[in-house]
Homo-oligomer: A and B are copies of this chain.
Amino acid sequence: MSAGLAHAELIAVLAAVTGDEPRVMTIRSGDALPSGPFELAHRSLQAGLREWVSDQTGHPVGYLEQLYTFADRDRTQDESDSRTISISYLGLVREQAAPGAGKPGWHGWYEYFPWEDHRRGEPEALRAIADHLQRWAEREASRRDHRRRRIEFAFGLNGAAWNEDLTLQRYELMFEAGLVFESGGEEFVGTGRPMFADHRRILATGIARLRAKIKYRPVVFELMPESFTLLQLQRTVEALAGLTLHKPNFRRLIDSHDLIEETGDVTSETGGRPAKLFRYRHAVLEERAFSGSKLPISRN
């Protein structure tokens, strides 16, 4: 059971939502994700990272899960022979105050992925990106069909529907096609702000995971204040998913799952009829399985 030596670091994708904007914690004025040496993980990776993040940001991390471990040799341009293993985590933070101009820099994540925000209709850059990709697909006869299908699927072209979960697949296609700065191509109109090394790919992984997760686990509440209105909750989900939702049905969904309860107060800060305030019922985490079985179980 031999084990090779390698350098190890931790990388965090910390997400918060301010107003209607999903944000990610960055360093170097938005050029990189926060990372730290592996040593900080005292007893467990989770515990170490938790501590480190709350030191760095002043916010406790509500939810933390491992994202992915990256270790490919060609991850970084740097050709040194030392292998680096990066263990990445996704954390959710209740961002309290407006972000100061200071150290922990929160940046709207659609700054890095402008084509991912469909709340105000199809982003304008999308058309051009799709065109570029399709030209790229034609360039190699042998893989043409396969590439075409991947593009149609990932970007919801030709009758396929846009699927917000495919953030990583879309980024990877654009990377392969040389459409993002990190892959050394040249066409960068509307293809978003680049990041150090493969940090943008890691961010894409985090966004994809979070978008998938909010559908079957009540993690949004880790991003909400103690009490909130239903519309605030909806706007937060919309911000994460990059989609607009159907209001009546969203409400029905939420309360059919017994996720929240009224606090008794109302707020009239929203304009119009005052909205009831709700709080998350923490008990649900233990009560309910959110992984609706889906398999046609037989009871006998």
A residues with a Cβ closer than 8 A to B are 1-9, 35-39, 41-45, 66, 68-69, 71-74, 83-85, 87, 146, 149-150, 153, 160-161, 163-166, 212, 214-216, 237, 241, 243-247, 249-250, 252-253, 286-287, 289, 291, 293-298, 300
Task: Choose among B161, B247, B300 the residue that contacts A244 (Cβ–Cβ < 8 A).
Answer: B300
Task: Choose among B1, B87, B166 the residue that contacts A69 (Cβ–Cβ < 8 A).
Answer: B87
Interface of A, helix, strand, loop or mixed by DSSP: mixed
Interchain CB contact under 8 A, B296 and A4: no
Task: Choose among B37, B73, B212 the residue that contacts A291 (Cβ–Cβ < 8 A).
Answer: B212
* Residues of chain B within 8 A of A241, CB atoms compared: 295
Q: A4-B38, A6-B8 are in contact. List 19 more A-B contacts (CB 8 A).
A: A3-B84, A4-B7, A4-B39, A6-B85, A8-B71, A38-B85, A43-B74, A45-B69, A71-B87, A149-B287, A163-B291, A164-B293, A165-B289, A165-B291, A215-B291, A216-B294, A243-B297, A244-B297, A244-B298
Task: Choose among B68, B85, B161, B291 the residue that contacts A289 (Cβ–Cβ < 8 A).
Answer: B161
* Residues of chain B within 8 A of A38, CB atoms compared: 3-4, 6, 71, 83, 85
- What's the nearest-Cβ distance from chain B to residue A288, in Å? 8
Whose C-beta in chain B lies nearest to the C-beta of A145? B286
Interchain CB contact under 8 A, A2 and B85: no
Known: A87-B69, A87-B71. A7 touches B9 (CB 8 A): no
Known: A296-B246, A297-B245. A289 touches B212 (CB 8 A): no
Of A5, A37, A215, A250, most B-chain CB atoms within 10 Å? A5
Task: Give Cα A155–Cα B37 distance, bound, in whole angstroms.
Answer: 38
Known: A1-B35, A253-B296. A71 touches B45 (CB 8 A): yes
Known: A71-B87, A74-B43, A287-B153. A294 touches B215 (CB 8 A): yes
* Residues of chain B within 8 A of A286, CB atoms compared: 146, 149-150, 153
- What's the nearest-Cβ distance from chain B to residue A151, in Å? 10
Whose C-beta in chain B lies nearest to the C-beta of A212? B291
21 CB < 8 A contacts A-B? A1-B35, A2-B9, A3-B84, A4-B37, A4-B38, A5-B8, A6-B7, A6-B8, A38-B85, A41-B72, A42-B73, A44-B73, A69-B69, A85-B85, A160-B289, A161-B289, A215-B291, A215-B295, A243-B297, A247-B298, A250-B295
